[in-house]
Amino acid sequence: MFTGSGLLCLTGVLTFVPVGDALVYLLTIGACLFLTGTLLLGVSRFPDCG
């Protein structure tokens, strides 16, 4: 869900031309959501050591 939301923010920047600081905010939020989703996906697939 985070990864998809991040991609939506990143592609939304390419689709619409935000004005002012909205471009920076959308790119930052999109990158953070994408990285969080990717990290959670990787952690969920990590085998248990116990």
Distance CA 44, CA 16 (A): 34
Q: What is the pLDDT of residues 21-39, one digit of tens each?
A: 888 888 888 888 888 888 8
Least confident of 2-6, 31-35, 39-43: 2-6
Q: What is the pLDDT of residues 10-19, one digit of tens each?
A: 787 778 777 8
Do 34 and 2 meet the contact criterion of CB atoms below 8 Å apart? Answer: yes
Do 27 and 13 meet the contact criterion of CB atoms below 8 Å apart? Answer: yes
pLDDT of 50: 47
Distance CA 34, CA 43 (A): 14
pLDDT of 49: 58
**In the chain, what are the helix, strand and coil shares in percent, each to the nearest 5?**
75, 0, 25
pLDDT of 47: 77
